[in-house]
């Protein structure tokens, strides 16, 4: 499904959750030291969308982040 195929409201804004938590967890697990940008590209969303979802997953204890140089790197918590 492309962005243009996703459900939209009467104002043209995307509705619903276009990406599942599983999409983000899989993107992290499939890469070695994935940054927020890497995860966004793998999922197919904007970096800001990825960052927001990853922060929520971090708050729930599902993923962790750490600073590596100037990048934020994500890992799935076992």
Distance CA 20, CA 12 (A): 21
CB 36 within 8 A of CB 50: yes
At residue 31, the pLDDT reads: 96
Angle at CA 36, nearest 5°, toward 19 and 64?
A: 90
Using 70 as the pLDDT threshold, list the residues of the chain that sit under it.
1-9, 12-17
Quote the pLDDT of residue 39.
97
Q: Considering the entire predicted model, what is its pTM?
A: 0.78
């Amino acid at each position: 499904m492309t962005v243009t195929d996703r459900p939209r409201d009467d104002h043209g804004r995307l509705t619903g959750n276009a990406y599942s938590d599983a999409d983000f967890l899989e993107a992290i697990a499939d890469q070695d030291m994935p940054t927020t940008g890497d995860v966004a590209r793998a999922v197919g969303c904007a970096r800001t969308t990825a960052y927001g979802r990853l922060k929520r997953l971090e708050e729930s204890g599902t993923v962790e982040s750490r600073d590596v140089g100037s990048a934020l790197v994500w890992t799935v918590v076992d």
